[in-house]
Structure 1
């Protein structure tokens, strides 16, 4: 028997059973769900750092959508806010690194 004790995608139990194996699961809610989603984000981020591939980025996005839903938002609302911020502030495509800010002297 292998112990996992972690949050998994919704269809993982049926995939395990289709592989002629048994699994024990339980439903988590509330603060426990939020904490597990946050742990999952760290797990997925670490996996991204190891592999640096699109699949790990997609996994991180799925966890972000799960966190948004936990907080009562839809995926569409999350993407809308993302686009609004992108339009107002831009993205990260240009690699702008802010080193410092000073107050301009008036002439």
Structure 2
């Protein structure tokens, strides 16, 4: 039986899904430091997947990893929303579709 090697952070239920498919997997629980490192890698992976597919599913995956990163760094989703809202109030959002082309001195 062939073995495929991964070294990536996966969702919590992936090992049971693999085993329900009749396969065996080897997993470990990460240290907090390694978890943060792999969360950052996962953010990049999910962003790349969204950029390639432009799918709502990939945006949902990106949001899931963002929420995990917020919690892992000791913040709350309320903290994240507060910072987002403050920035939007001070600098605006992106609804007006403004392209900044140049600034002259």
Report the TM-score range of the alignment, normalised by the length of the smaller protein: 0.7 to 0.9
CA distance 1:101–1:95, shift in 2 (3 Å): farther
Normalising by structure 1, report the TM-score: 0.82
Q: 2:44 is paired with a residue of what secondary structure?
A: helix
Instruction: Answer yes or no: is 1:61 the counterpart of 2:83.
Output: no
Q: Distance in 2 between matches of 1:79 and 1:27?
A: 29
When the two chains are superposed, the root-mean-square deviation of aligned CA atoms in Å is 1.6
**1:100 has 2:87 as partner:** no
- Structure 2: segments with no counterpart, 5+ residues: none
If the length of structure 2 is used for normalisation, what is the TM-score? 0.84
Structure 1 unpaired stretches of 5+: 103-107
Structure with bigger gyration radius:
1
What is the alpha-carbon distance in structure 2 between the residues aligned to residue 2 and residue 29 of structure 1? 23
The runs of 4+ residues in structure 1 deviating greater than 3 Å are none
| Number of residue pairs aligned between Structure 1 and Structure 2 | 102
Q: CA separation in 2, counterparts of 1:10 and 1:101? A: 51
Report the Cα distance in structure 2 between the residues aligned to 1:58 and 1:82, rounded to whole angstroms.
18
